[in-house]
Amino acid sequence: MPSPRANNYILIIFDSCRYDSFVAANPKTLRKLGSLEQRWSYASWTAPSHYNLLMGLLPHQSPRQVYASEYYKNDFFKFNERLGAADIEFKSLVPQLYFPTFLQRKLNYRTHAMVSLPVLNPKTILNTGFDSFRLMPRHNDMRAMLREMRFPEDRPSFYILNVGETHYPYALPDEPPNEWPRVSGVHGVFKHLDEHIVGGKLVPGAEKFFDQAKLDLLRDRQVKAIQHLDRVIEELFDLVPENTYVTVTADHGELFGEDGYFGHGPIQHDKVFEVPFIEGRIR
């Protein structure tokens, strides 16, 4: 059992955030964490990607001429730095192979999740090994999550924050819903479950949902959302104790017209797997 000075650990997921959108936003506060990396998600949709993340499988580097087993070994060893622990490796998670359960039962962490997307709601299988798991009232208000975060000194805390400002419609919390962009077949996760909920390919003769100018506008909205979140992250840095480690990444990317694709999910394209990755300890 670790001492109370073990690191608090916060895993922040900018939902649908593309790597190059992150670069274009040039977030000043986030870059204080460390070097920005280009990584790749294990999945192209929110729910399966979060399952991987909660197994401890953070977006990977995709190195060449390296055995996969060696990569996993080294990647999991990094959790020793993140948690301020020792001897953590993939087999440490056996038998559940689930990171929150491991933190609760073996390292005595308090574990909390706050999510923005309804496909991650507390009734799903993802709500395992958490002391608290909450679907936020609004899908695009990370600042509201900060108001609920607590860091008691007797035990370390783990938080996973699924942040929705970077997800379609890339809306900031003070932006009236009637000003959000509306794309036919995309808006409404459950209403359009059997339609074009997360993306598709524009084919000749099919209804054209939007032109490239509108796609460029959507991408610009995602960039502005990241810049907004950078200011919220600054507030987070002021809130957390010094012994806190933060990882910021995305569950998957997004397509804004490349090769005729839009959105994410049932799409095999580099830009839907390419994500930003940055992390470091708050000092």
pTM above the 0.75 mark?
Answer: yes
pLDDT reported for residue 59? 97
| pLDDT at position 221 | 96
> Are 199 and 255 contacting, i.e. CB atoms less than 8 angstroms apart?
yes
Four-way CATH pick for 8-282: 3.40.720.10, 3.40.50.800, 3.40.50.2000, 3.20.20.10? 3.40.720.10
Amino acid at the residue 148: E
pLDDT in tens, the chain (283 residues): 444 469 999 999 999 999 999 999 999 999 999 999 999 999 999 999 999 999 999 999 988 888 888 888 888 899 999 999 888 888 888 888 899 999 999 999 999 999 999 999 999 999 999 999 999 999 999 999 999 999 999 999 999 999 999 999 999 999 998 888 876 555 444 343 333 334 444 444 445 556 788 889 999 999 999 999 999 999 999 999 989 999 999 999 999 988 888 888 888 899 999 999 999 998 7
Closest CA to 278 of 82, 58, 33: 33
Strands (E), the chain: 8-14, 37-40, 110-115, 132-135, 157-163, 199-201, 244-249, 255-256, 261-263, 274-282
Question: How much is the pLDDT for 90?
Answer: 80
pLDDT of res. 15: 97
